[in-house]
Amino acid sequence: MSAGKWWLASLLLTPWAFAAWGSEVVLVVNRENPVSSLSRQEAVQIFLGKKTTWEGNGKIELYVQLEESVNEEFIPALVNKSPRQFFLYWKRIVFSGTGLPPLQVRGDQEMKRAIAADRHGIGYIKADSLDPAVKRLELR
């Protein structure tokens, strides 16, 4: 199997492991959040601001990274937009007065600190940064 076909096959077989260039990006939530998995559609709705509450657990606080390499992997794989399109989408929402922007953090360590301190938070980090401070959210 050629390298291109192998990569495509692995992408199709593991669609929710946002992987590129050898590092997987995973969704994380606060350890106290009772949610342990989301459907892909639910995750897309959260990241596009269309789902704003956890079932029985309050308002969702969306965190995004300013780290370009992580955004280049994660955002297109989940919401089918480039990072530029994603952030412009959010600027339009804010400008129209129909929503508040995601909270921005500078990298995996800051993301973990923010999510660990925010019971309603959701964000994303590289899998190799995962530790007990936050809980990995499985996508089904």
The domain that holds 36 is classified in CATH as 3.40.190.10
pLDDT of residue 9: 40
- 3-class state of residue 48 by DSSP: coil
Residue entry with tokens 């949610």: 35
Question: pTM of the predicted model, to two decimals?
Answer: 0.84
Helix axes 68-79, 40-47, angle to 10 degrees: 120
- Please say whether the beta carbons of 55 and 96 come within 8 A: no
119 pLDDT more than 70: yes
Record the tokens describing residue 139, joined without a space.
Answer: 């996508």
pLDDT in tens, 40-62: 999 999 999 999 999 887 999 99
| Range(s) of the domain holding residue 9 | 3-139
**Mean pLDDT confidence for 90-109:** 96
- Please say whether the beta carbons of 81 and 87 come within 8 A: no
Number of separate domains in the chain: 1
Amino acid residing at 11: L
Strand partners, 29: 122, 135
pLDDT in tens, 17-45: 454 434 699 999 999 999 999 999 999 99
